[in-house]
Chains A and B, each alone.
Chain A
Protein backbone atom coordinates (compact mmCIF):
# COMPACT_ATOMS: atom_id res chain seq x y z
CA UNK A 1 0.00 0.00 0.00
CA UNK A 2 1.33 3.41 -1.01
CA UNK A 3 0.69 5.13 2.35
CA UNK A 4 2.59 2.42 4.18
CA UNK A 5 5.44 2.52 1.63
CA UNK A 6 5.68 6.31 1.98
CA UNK A 7 5.77 5.99 5.76
CA UNK A 8 8.51 3.35 5.78
CA UNK A 9 10.48 4.97 2.96
CA UNK A 10 10.61 8.41 4.58
CA UNK A 11 11.20 7.07 8.09
CA UNK A 12 14.30 5.50 6.54
CA UNK A 13 15.29 8.88 5.05
CA UNK A 14 14.76 10.66 8.36
CA UNK A 15 16.74 8.03 10.22
CA UNK A 16 19.73 7.72 7.89
CA UNK A 17 20.17 11.24 6.56
CA UNK A 18 23.20 12.57 8.42
CA UNK A 19 24.80 15.91 7.64
CA UNK A 20 21.70 17.83 6.66
CA UNK A 21 20.05 18.15 3.26
CA UNK A 22 22.93 16.94 1.12
CA UNK A 23 23.32 13.89 3.29
CA UNK A 24 19.66 13.16 2.64
CA UNK A 25 19.83 13.33 -1.14
CA UNK A 26 21.59 9.97 -1.68
CA UNK A 27 19.19 8.23 0.72
CA UNK A 28 16.13 9.90 -0.85
CA UNK A 29 17.33 8.89 -4.34
CA UNK A 30 17.75 5.35 -3.09
CA UNK A 31 14.26 5.14 -1.61
CA UNK A 32 12.44 7.02 -4.37
CA UNK A 33 14.13 5.15 -7.24
CA UNK A 34 13.82 1.71 -5.64
CA UNK A 35 10.06 2.19 -5.16
CA UNK A 36 9.87 3.72 -8.65
CA UNK A 37 7.95 6.74 -7.33
CA UNK A 38 9.44 9.39 -9.61
CA UNK A 39 12.18 9.41 -12.22
CA UNK A 40 15.73 10.44 -11.46
CA UNK A 41 15.43 13.50 -13.71
CA UNK A 42 12.26 14.74 -12.03
CA UNK A 43 13.90 14.25 -8.65
CA UNK A 44 16.81 16.43 -9.75
CA UNK A 45 14.36 19.19 -10.74
CA UNK A 46 12.67 18.81 -7.41
CA UNK A 47 15.96 19.15 -5.54
CA UNK A 48 16.43 22.47 -7.34
CA UNK A 49 12.88 23.55 -6.45
CA UNK A 50 13.46 22.56 -2.79
CA UNK A 51 16.69 24.52 -2.80
CA UNK A 52 14.89 27.60 -4.18
CA UNK A 53 11.87 27.49 -1.87
CA UNK A 54 12.08 28.21 1.84
CA UNK A 55 12.27 25.55 4.50
CA UNK A 56 14.33 22.41 5.16
CA UNK A 57 15.18 20.69 1.86
CA UNK A 58 14.41 17.25 3.26
CA UNK A 59 10.92 18.31 4.32
CA UNK A 60 10.30 19.90 0.93
CA UNK A 61 11.31 16.73 -0.91
CA UNK A 62 9.19 14.52 1.34
CA UNK A 63 6.13 16.75 0.84
CA UNK A 64 6.63 16.73 -2.92
CA UNK A 65 7.16 12.99 -3.32
CA UNK A 66 4.25 12.21 -0.99
CA UNK A 67 1.95 14.60 -2.79
CA UNK A 68 2.94 13.32 -6.24
CA UNK A 69 2.24 9.73 -5.19
CA UNK A 70 -0.84 10.00 -3.00
CA UNK A 71 -2.13 13.57 -2.91
CA UNK A 72 -2.63 15.45 0.35
CA UNK A 73 -2.65 12.41 2.69
CA UNK A 74 0.53 11.16 1.01
CA UNK A 75 2.23 14.53 1.50
CA UNK A 76 1.18 14.55 5.15
CA UNK A 77 2.45 11.02 5.82
CA UNK A 78 5.79 11.49 4.03
CA UNK A 79 6.44 14.82 5.78
CA UNK A 80 5.56 13.45 9.21
CA UNK A 81 7.72 10.38 8.57
CA UNK A 82 10.80 12.39 7.59
CA UNK A 83 10.49 14.63 10.67
CA UNK A 84 9.62 11.99 13.26
CA UNK A 85 13.00 10.26 13.75
CA UNK A 86 14.94 13.47 14.44
CA UNK A 87 12.14 14.76 16.66
CA UNK A 88 12.15 11.59 18.78
CA UNK A 89 15.94 11.28 18.85
CA UNK A 90 16.47 14.86 20.04
CA UNK A 91 13.79 14.46 22.72
CA UNK A 92 15.40 11.23 23.92
CA UNK A 93 18.81 12.90 24.00
CA UNK A 94 17.51 15.78 26.12
CA UNK A 95 15.32 13.76 28.48
CA UNK A 96 17.05 10.47 29.06
CA UNK A 97 20.45 10.19 27.60
CA UNK A 98 22.35 13.44 27.84
CA UNK A 99 25.63 11.62 27.95
CA UNK A 100 24.81 9.11 25.23
CA UNK A 101 26.58 11.13 22.55
CA UNK A 102 29.77 11.04 24.61
CA UNK A 103 29.62 7.27 25.01
CA UNK A 104 32.75 5.81 23.33
CA UNK A 105 30.79 3.13 21.47
CA UNK A 106 28.33 5.66 20.07
CA UNK A 107 31.31 7.84 19.15
CA UNK A 108 32.88 4.88 17.33
CA UNK A 109 29.68 4.31 15.32
CA UNK A 110 29.48 8.02 14.42
CA UNK A 111 33.19 8.05 13.47
CA UNK A 112 32.41 5.33 10.92
CA UNK A 113 29.21 6.86 9.58
CA UNK A 114 30.36 10.44 9.06
CA UNK A 115 33.20 9.80 6.58
CA UNK A 116 31.02 7.21 4.86
CA UNK A 117 28.24 9.72 4.20
CA UNK A 118 30.81 12.22 2.89
CA UNK A 119 32.03 9.60 0.39
CA UNK A 120 28.42 8.82 -0.59
CA UNK A 121 27.59 12.51 -1.11
CA UNK A 122 30.75 13.01 -3.19
CA UNK A 123 29.87 10.01 -5.36
CA UNK A 124 26.31 11.30 -5.82
CA UNK A 125 27.63 14.71 -6.90
CA UNK A 126 30.08 13.17 -9.38
CA UNK A 127 27.36 10.90 -10.76
CA UNK A 128 24.79 13.68 -11.12
CA UNK A 129 27.24 15.97 -12.91
CA UNK A 130 28.37 13.22 -15.29
CA UNK A 131 24.99 11.69 -16.06
CA UNK A 132 23.56 14.84 -17.61
CA UNK A 133 26.71 15.45 -19.65
CA UNK A 134 26.18 12.11 -21.38
CA UNK A 135 23.07 11.55 -23.45
CA UNK A 136 22.30 7.88 -23.13
CA UNK A 137 19.87 6.76 -25.79
CA UNK A 138 21.02 3.64 -27.71
CA UNK A 139 24.65 4.62 -27.64
CA UNK A 140 25.89 6.98 -24.92
CA UNK A 141 27.18 10.20 -26.44
CA UNK A 142 28.71 13.16 -24.71
CA UNK A 143 26.59 16.31 -24.92
CA UNK A 144 28.96 19.17 -25.71
CA UNK A 145 26.37 21.76 -24.65
CA UNK A 146 25.98 20.17 -21.22
CA UNK A 147 29.74 19.83 -20.69
CA UNK A 148 30.36 23.47 -21.60
CA UNK A 149 27.43 24.68 -19.52
CA UNK A 150 28.58 22.63 -16.50
CA UNK A 151 32.11 24.00 -16.82
CA UNK A 152 30.72 27.54 -17.13
CA UNK A 153 28.53 27.16 -14.03
CA UNK A 154 31.35 25.59 -12.00
CA UNK A 155 33.76 28.40 -12.91
CA UNK A 156 31.17 31.07 -12.00
CA UNK A 157 30.17 29.35 -8.75
CA UNK A 158 33.60 28.50 -7.40
CA UNK A 159 35.27 31.53 -9.01
CA UNK A 160 32.81 33.97 -7.41
CA UNK A 161 34.31 33.14 -4.00
CA UNK A 162 37.60 34.70 -5.08
CA UNK A 163 35.86 37.99 -5.86
CA UNK A 164 32.80 38.25 -3.61
CA UNK A 165 33.15 37.72 0.11
CA UNK A 166 30.72 34.84 0.40
CA UNK A 167 30.52 33.86 -3.26
CA UNK A 168 27.29 33.17 -5.10
CA UNK A 169 24.47 31.64 -3.07
CA UNK A 170 23.01 28.31 -4.24
CA UNK A 171 19.80 30.10 -5.26
CA UNK A 172 21.79 32.58 -7.37
CA UNK A 173 23.53 29.65 -9.09
CA UNK A 174 20.18 27.97 -9.79
CA UNK A 175 18.86 31.26 -11.20
CA UNK A 176 21.88 31.68 -13.48
CA UNK A 177 21.70 28.04 -14.58
CA UNK A 178 18.02 28.44 -15.46
CA UNK A 179 18.77 31.51 -17.61
CA UNK A 180 21.73 29.74 -19.22
CA UNK A 181 19.53 26.70 -19.91
CA UNK A 182 16.93 28.82 -21.69
CA UNK A 183 19.63 30.45 -23.82
CA UNK A 184 21.71 27.33 -24.59
CA UNK A 185 18.92 24.79 -25.14
CA UNK A 186 16.44 27.27 -26.64
CA UNK A 187 18.65 28.09 -29.61
Chain B
Protein backbone atom coordinates (compact mmCIF):
# COMPACT_ATOMS: atom_id res chain seq x y z
CA UNK B 1 0.00 0.00 0.00
CA UNK B 2 1.08 3.54 -0.67
CA UNK B 3 2.87 4.79 2.45
CA UNK B 4 0.98 8.11 2.47
CA UNK B 5 -2.36 6.33 2.31
CA UNK B 6 -1.18 3.89 4.99
CA UNK B 7 -0.18 6.79 7.30
CA UNK B 8 -3.49 8.52 6.68
CA UNK B 9 -5.61 5.41 7.33
CA UNK B 10 -3.62 4.28 10.38
CA UNK B 11 -3.98 7.65 12.09
CA UNK B 12 -7.60 7.99 11.00
CA UNK B 13 -8.27 4.68 12.73
CA UNK B 14 -6.54 5.91 15.89
CA UNK B 15 -8.50 9.16 15.69
CA UNK B 16 -11.75 7.27 15.30
CA UNK B 17 -11.29 4.76 18.09
CA UNK B 18 -9.69 6.63 20.96
CA UNK B 19 -11.87 8.38 23.45
CA UNK B 20 -10.61 10.77 26.08
CA UNK B 21 -7.90 12.41 24.00
CA UNK B 22 -4.22 12.92 24.73
CA UNK B 23 -2.65 10.33 26.95
CA UNK B 24 -5.19 7.68 26.04
CA UNK B 25 -3.93 7.98 22.47
CA UNK B 26 -0.26 7.54 23.25
CA UNK B 27 -0.74 3.84 24.05
CA UNK B 28 -2.70 3.29 20.82
CA UNK B 29 -0.11 5.15 18.75
CA UNK B 30 2.64 3.10 20.37
CA UNK B 31 0.77 -0.10 19.58
CA UNK B 32 0.17 0.85 15.95
CA UNK B 33 3.39 2.65 15.03
CA UNK B 34 5.99 0.82 17.14
CA UNK B 35 4.70 -2.73 17.46
CA UNK B 36 2.61 -3.38 14.35
CA UNK B 37 3.92 -1.05 11.62
CA UNK B 38 7.45 -0.60 13.02
CA UNK B 39 7.50 2.95 11.73
CA UNK B 40 9.43 4.22 14.73
CA UNK B 41 11.42 2.55 17.52
CA UNK B 42 10.44 2.43 21.16
CA UNK B 43 13.13 5.01 21.99
CA UNK B 44 11.80 7.35 19.34
CA UNK B 45 8.35 6.92 20.85
CA UNK B 46 9.78 8.12 24.18
CA UNK B 47 11.24 11.15 22.37
CA UNK B 48 7.84 11.94 20.86
CA UNK B 49 6.24 11.75 24.29
CA UNK B 50 8.77 14.21 25.70
CA UNK B 51 8.32 16.54 22.74
CA UNK B 52 4.54 16.27 23.02
CA UNK B 53 4.68 17.14 26.71
CA UNK B 54 6.98 20.13 26.26
CA UNK B 55 5.28 21.61 23.22
CA UNK B 56 1.82 23.12 23.06
CA UNK B 57 -1.13 21.69 21.17
CA UNK B 58 -2.93 18.35 21.04
CA UNK B 59 -0.57 15.50 22.03
CA UNK B 60 -2.02 13.23 19.34
CA UNK B 61 -1.21 15.83 16.67
CA UNK B 62 2.37 16.11 17.90
CA UNK B 63 2.75 12.33 17.61
CA UNK B 64 1.13 12.13 14.16
CA UNK B 65 3.32 14.91 12.80
CA UNK B 66 6.47 13.25 14.17
CA UNK B 67 5.73 9.74 12.88
CA UNK B 68 4.55 11.04 9.50
CA UNK B 69 7.69 13.11 9.03
CA UNK B 70 9.97 10.18 9.94
CA UNK B 71 8.30 8.05 7.26
CA UNK B 72 7.87 10.39 4.33
CA UNK B 73 8.98 13.94 5.19
CA UNK B 74 6.59 16.84 4.94
CA UNK B 75 3.95 15.04 2.85
CA UNK B 76 3.97 12.15 5.35
CA UNK B 77 3.48 14.48 8.29
CA UNK B 78 0.55 16.15 6.52
CA UNK B 79 -1.07 12.79 5.66
CA UNK B 80 -0.75 11.53 9.26
CA UNK B 81 -2.02 14.78 10.81
CA UNK B 82 -4.99 14.98 8.41
CA UNK B 83 -5.84 11.37 9.24
CA UNK B 84 -5.74 12.15 12.95
CA UNK B 85 -8.03 15.19 12.62
CA UNK B 86 -10.55 14.08 10.01
CA UNK B 87 -12.72 11.60 11.99
CA UNK B 88 -13.31 13.93 14.93
CA UNK B 89 -13.87 16.87 12.61
CA UNK B 90 -16.67 15.02 10.79
CA UNK B 91 -18.28 13.67 13.94
CA UNK B 92 -18.29 16.97 15.81
CA UNK B 93 -19.43 18.90 12.75
CA UNK B 94 -22.47 16.62 12.53
CA UNK B 95 -23.20 16.88 16.26
CA UNK B 96 -22.84 20.67 16.33
CA UNK B 97 -25.92 21.06 14.13
CA UNK B 98 -28.08 19.08 16.54
CA UNK B 99 -26.84 19.93 20.03
CA UNK B 100 -28.88 23.12 20.50
CA UNK B 101 -32.11 21.35 19.47
CA UNK B 102 -31.30 18.36 21.68
CA UNK B 103 -30.99 20.59 24.72
CA UNK B 104 -34.60 21.74 24.36
CA UNK B 105 -35.76 18.22 25.24
CA UNK B 106 -36.29 18.18 29.02
CA UNK B 107 -34.62 14.89 29.93
CA UNK B 108 -31.58 15.62 27.79
CA UNK B 109 -31.24 19.02 29.45
CA UNK B 110 -31.42 17.26 32.84
CA UNK B 111 -28.77 14.77 31.75
CA UNK B 112 -26.46 17.62 30.81
CA UNK B 113 -27.07 19.32 34.18
CA UNK B 114 -25.60 16.16 35.69
CA UNK B 115 -22.83 15.96 33.10
CA UNK B 116 -21.57 19.49 33.75
CA UNK B 117 -20.83 18.49 37.36
CA UNK B 118 -18.80 15.52 36.11
CA UNK B 119 -16.74 17.76 33.82
CA UNK B 120 -15.52 19.80 36.80
CA UNK B 121 -14.50 16.60 38.60
CA UNK B 122 -12.59 15.36 35.52
CA UNK B 123 -10.66 18.63 35.29
CA UNK B 124 -9.83 18.48 39.00
CA UNK B 125 -8.66 14.89 38.53
CA UNK B 126 -6.38 15.90 35.64
CA UNK B 127 -4.85 18.66 37.79
CA UNK B 128 -4.32 16.32 40.76
CA UNK B 129 -2.56 13.79 38.52
CA UNK B 130 -0.27 16.49 37.13
CA UNK B 131 0.58 17.66 40.65
CA UNK B 132 1.49 14.07 41.47
CA UNK B 133 4.05 14.00 38.64
CA UNK B 134 5.40 17.49 39.34
CA UNK B 135 8.80 17.92 41.06
CA UNK B 136 8.03 18.92 44.67
CA UNK B 137 10.56 21.73 44.93
CA UNK B 138 10.01 25.27 46.27
CA UNK B 139 10.15 26.99 42.86
CA UNK B 140 7.52 24.98 40.94
CA UNK B 141 5.29 24.77 44.02
CA UNK B 142 5.40 28.55 44.50
CA UNK B 143 4.61 29.19 40.83
CA UNK B 144 1.78 26.67 40.96
CA UNK B 145 0.17 28.23 44.06
CA UNK B 146 0.52 31.77 42.69
CA UNK B 147 -1.07 30.66 39.40
CA UNK B 148 -3.85 28.85 41.28
CA UNK B 149 -4.62 31.92 43.38
CA UNK B 150 -4.45 34.34 40.46
CA UNK B 151 -6.66 32.15 38.27
CA UNK B 152 -9.27 31.70 41.04
CA UNK B 153 -9.43 35.49 41.47
CA UNK B 154 -9.73 35.92 37.70
CA UNK B 155 -12.55 33.34 37.47
CA UNK B 156 -14.59 34.41 40.48
CA UNK B 157 -14.34 38.14 39.85
CA UNK B 158 -14.48 37.81 36.06
CA UNK B 159 -11.27 39.83 35.69
CA UNK B 160 -10.11 40.55 32.17
CA UNK B 161 -6.74 38.84 32.50
CA UNK B 162 -6.05 35.89 30.25
CA UNK B 163 -4.47 32.62 31.39
CA UNK B 164 -1.98 33.17 28.56
CA UNK B 165 -0.77 36.28 30.41
CA UNK B 166 -0.25 34.16 33.54
CA UNK B 167 1.79 31.62 31.60
CA UNK B 168 3.97 34.24 29.94
CA UNK B 169 4.55 35.86 33.34
CA UNK B 170 5.57 32.52 34.87
CA UNK B 171 7.91 31.89 31.93
CA UNK B 172 9.50 35.35 32.33
CA UNK B 173 9.94 34.93 36.10
CA UNK B 174 11.49 31.49 35.70
CA UNK B 175 13.83 32.73 32.94
CA UNK B 176 14.87 35.77 35.01
CA UNK B 177 15.64 33.62 38.07
CA UNK B 178 17.65 31.22 35.90
CA UNK B 179 19.71 34.07 34.40
CA UNK B 180 20.36 35.71 37.78
CA UNK B 181 21.52 32.37 39.22
CA UNK B 182 23.70 31.70 36.19
CA UNK B 183 25.36 35.14 36.45
CA UNK B 184 25.85 34.67 40.19
CA UNK B 185 27.48 31.32 39.45
CA UNK B 186 29.83 32.94 36.91
CA UNK B 187 30.73 35.76 39.34
CA UNK B 188 31.58 33.18 42.02
CA UNK B 189 33.74 31.28 39.57
CA UNK B 190 35.68 34.41 38.66
CA UNK B 191 36.57 35.16 42.30
A12 x B164 contact (CB < 8 A): yes
Decide yes or no: A118 and B93 within 8 Å by CB, A56-B58, A89-B56, A111-B140 being known contacts: no
B95 x A64 contact (CB < 8 A): yes
Please list the residues of chain A having a beta carbon within 8 angstroms of any beta carbon in chain B: 12, 14-22, 24-27, 30, 34, 41, 44-60, 63-64, 67-68, 72, 75, 79, 82-83, 85-87, 89-91, 93-95, 101, 104-105, 108-129, 132-133, 146, 149-150, 153-154, 157-158, 169-171, 173-174, 176-182, 184-186
B51 x A185 contact (CB < 8 A): no
Decide yes or no: A85 and B57 within 8 Å by CB, A45-B99, A90-B62, A123-B148 being known contacts: yes
Chain A to chain B: the 5 pairs with minimum beta-carbon distance, closest first: A181-B114, A55-B88, A86-B57, A112-B174, A119-B147
B155 proximal to A (CB < 8 A) = yes
The secondary-structure label for the interface of chain B is helix
B34 proximal to A (CB < 8 A) = no
**In the complex, what residues of A have CB within 8 A of residue B123's CB?**
22, 25, 121, 124-125, 128
A87 x B163 contact (CB < 8 A): no
Please list the residues of chain B having a beta carbon within 8 angstroms of any beta carbon in chain A: 15-23, 25, 50-51, 53-62, 65-66, 69-70, 74, 77, 81, 84-85, 87-89, 91-93, 95-97, 99, 103, 106-107, 110-128, 130-131, 134, 139-141, 143-152, 154-156, 160, 162-164, 166-167, 169-175, 177-179, 182
Considering the complex, give the chain B residue whose CB is closest to the CB of A152. B117
B92 x A63 contact (CB < 8 A): yes
Contact pick for B110, options A112, A171, A176, A181, CB 8 Å: A181
A86 x B56 contact (CB < 8 A): yes
Chain A nearest CB from B12 CB (Å) reads: 10
